[in-house]
Amino acid sequence: MSDSNFIGQSKLTFKEGEIVYRKGDLAQTMYVILTGKIRMYVGTEPQGDWSEELAKGDFFGEGSLLEPIPRHHTVVALEDTEVVTISRGTFLRMIRQNPEVSVKMMQRLAQRNRELAGRVDPEPFKGAKAKAQPTSVSLVSVISGRKFNILSHGALVGRYDPNTGIHPDIDLTEEDPQLSVSRRHARILCEHNRYFLVEEHGVANGTYIKGERLPPGDARELKAGDRVGFGMVVLFFEKPA
């Protein structure tokens, strides 16, 4: 997708927290990420449930190239991000001139579908009473007892940023009157029902598991009952056996 013949197409830059497009928008343009990172939210605002985070080399919005349908997500830049926009006409020209492009796209789409399918309960519905069960994996505040559920694909831990409008999945603003938690403090990653904690870059007040400071960029697995600290905020990790 980054062939030099097409990289000269329109480039756009989005600042951290800026919305690329909203759910429901109509367009016939897809995007390829050159630098930075984006998140795809389920609703019309950049908060709450989200489906994917994409970075350099990934593409999104490709459905609009096939037919003029409304956008399925709201996309927001998680950091300063540069993208290349590709219109329907340009994409069709790319396919005619280089059929390998369409093959690569189909391979990427198949991979994405497999990853998304892995986040969904593989068990088929069993009659009309079958319902998806909410996750019971969570962080529980030691002080307030408040429970913060962890999404099946992980969570960003931090404080709400009024400047960018980004809401972390686990917002510790009300738990942190000392402002010791960074806006983007840490991430909880999920892989095969195992949960890992990774501190974000530039965190000043540290991230702790059972009192031990977590080195930046070092992923540590969380176990049921672990005491986890983000700055001065302490919580317990709850996970059913």
Residue where one domain finishes, among candidates 86, 117, 148: 117
Residue at 192 is within a domain: yes
Q: Answer whether residue 4 shows pLDDT above 60.
A: no
Q: How many domains does the chain have?
A: 2
Report the CATH number that the domain containing residue 37 is assigned in CATH. 2.60.120.10
Model pLDDT for residues 149-204, shown as the tens digit of each residue: 997 778 889 998 887 777 888 999 999 999 999 998 999 988 888 899 999 888 99
- Does a structural domain hold residue 110? yes
Judge if 110 and 186 occupy the same domain: no
Domain of 146, CATH number, reads 2.60.200.20
Most confident of 61-65, 87-91, 158-162, 173-177: 173-177
Same domain for 104 and 152, yes or no, is: no
User: Which is more confidently placed, 7 or 197?
Assistant: 197
Q: Which domain holds residue 169?
A: 138-238
For the cut 70, the answer to whether the pLDDT of residue 53 exceeds it is yes
Q: With helix as H, strand as E and coil as C, how does the chain read?
A: CCCCCCCCCCEEEECCCCEEECCCCECCEEEEEEECEEEEECCCCCCCCEEEEEECCCEECCHHHHCCCECCCEEEECCCEEEEEEEHHHHHHHHHHCCHHHHHHHHHHHHHHHHHHCCCCCCCCCCCCCCCCCCCCEEEECCCCCEEECECCEEEEECCECCCCECCCEECHHHCCCCCCCCEEEEEEEECCEEEEEECCCCCCCEEECCEECCCCCCEEECCCCEEEECCEEEEEECCC
Q: What is the pTM for the complete model shown? A: 0.53
Judge if 152 and 232 occupy the same domain. yes
Q: Is residue 1 part of a domain?
A: no
